[in-house]
Amino acid sequence: MSRLFEKVRIGNIDLKNRIGMAPMTRSRALPDGTPSDLIAEYYGQRATVGLIISEGTQPSDDGQGYTNTPGIYTENHIKGWKKVTSKVHSEGGRIFVQLMHVGRVSHPDNTPHHRQAVAPSAIAPGVEIFTAEGMKDIPTPRELSELEIKDVINEFRKAARSAIEAGADGVEIHGANGYLIQQFLSENSNHRQDAYGGTIEGRSRFAIEVAKAVVDEIGAERTGIRFSPQGTLQGIDEGENSLEMYRYLISELNKLNLAYLHLMHFGNEQFLKDVRQLWDQSLLVNRPGRPLDQLSSDVDNNFADVVTVGTWVLANPDFVERIQSGAPLNEPDKNTLYAGGKEGYTDYPFLK
């Protein structure tokens, strides 16, 4: 795995290794969305990876889907994130804040304003969501007007600026996992017949306009974007021509010279090769369920510049040291993944 420990440049920053911490919802923010001191400790513990990508962070009230997730659109949010970024930087790490608007993947019980969720079309995902009262069906969302779409794009812009004010090295636009951007990309969640639907170009428009707005606000070198091609989370079905759509979308985004593209990859190796040809900047690859002994394969084969890791880093704050030395890994506590305090969060043991 020697290449994993090489330095690499992403955007305008140098990473000390080619291992990234994948974004993972942990639901430890304060009720108003402000990151807590515990969150700062959590990320600071894991600053030995080359790049931390934070948990999904809502750019607005409407962007929230789950309880106790962080925001990045108020002064309190910015102050809270400053503690996080300062802690990570003091430990020699780098951090991008992931901007996540959940769209229809929400419930009025989970948001500060208790309003109906918004989406490209008024189509319920057909899945449940966790609330304070237990699992509930996700209600049908309200379709965004074209004017409201422009407002949401501006929310991403302002959130990106707030993240930089809070000391983040950059932001990652979340276009994966069934949330708002992927809802625009997918045939079964986007039935629009205006400029933001119908054709591949129409369904891709929202993602491209969000990326352009963020680049205009904070610079391409501080902007990454994440996709999960052919992913089906949250009731998503992108349709038979999804890979053709992503080839178009990635080609268009490549013109913006973003810091990186982050792919959640599900095993279509030819598509990954195609992306490597289409994309001129850094490529981050996350393979869910990848065996530990294959962790470096995409870097070794020049399919990726950085590999991102989820639960292994969650349960092993010193993950880099452990794989360098061949030490055993802590097992994640599945009961504490999405709620609670320090248990299963900041109390995982270090080797030393």
For residue 214, give the nearest of 263, 168, 275 by alpha carbon.
168
Read off the pTM: 0.97
CA distance 34 to 69: 8
CA distance 64 to 57: 8
Least confident interval from 1-5, 87-91, 222-226: 1-5
| Contact of 76 with 32, CB cutoff 8 Å | yes
Q: How much is the mean pLDDT over the chain?
A: 97
Catalytic residue among 42, 66, 179, 196: 179
In this prediction, residue 132 carries a pLDDT of 86
State the average pLDDT over residues 164-192: 98
State the average pLDDT over residues 206-225: 98
Please, which pLDDT band fits residue 340 given cuts at 50, 70 and 90? Answer: confident
Any idea how long the chain is? 352
As a dihedral over the C-alpha atoms of residue 315, residue 31, residue 158, residue 123, rounded to 10 degrees, the angle is 90
State the average pLDDT over residues 72-77: 98
In this prediction, residue 112 carries a pLDDT of 86
345: its two tokens:
């969060």
- Kindly tell me if the per-residue pLDDT of 1 is higher than 90: no
- Kindly tell me if the per-residue pLDDT of 164 is higher than 90: yes
344: its two tokens:
């299963």
- Kindly tell me if the per-residue pLDDT of 339 is higher than 90: no
- Kindly tell me if the per-residue pLDDT of 9 is higher than 90: yes
- Percent of residues, the chain, with pLDDT higher than 70: 100
CA distance 281 to 295: 21
Residues 6+ apart with CB under 8 A from 265: 229, 272, 285, 286, 287
CA distance 303 to 293: 17
Residue range 238-252, pLDDT digits in tens: 999 999 999 999 999
47: its two tokens:
């600053």
Question: Facing residues of 136 across strands?
Answer: 129
Residue range 50-63, pLDDT digits in tens: 999 999 999 999 99
**179 catalytic residue (yes or no):** yes
CA neighbours within 13 Å on the CB side: how many for 280?
8
- Kindly tell me if the per-residue pLDDT of 352 is higher than 90: no
- Percent of residues, the chain, with pLDDT higher than 90: 97
In this prediction, residue 33 carries a pLDDT of 97
Please, which pLDDT band fits residue 331 given cuts at 50, 70 and 90? Answer: very high
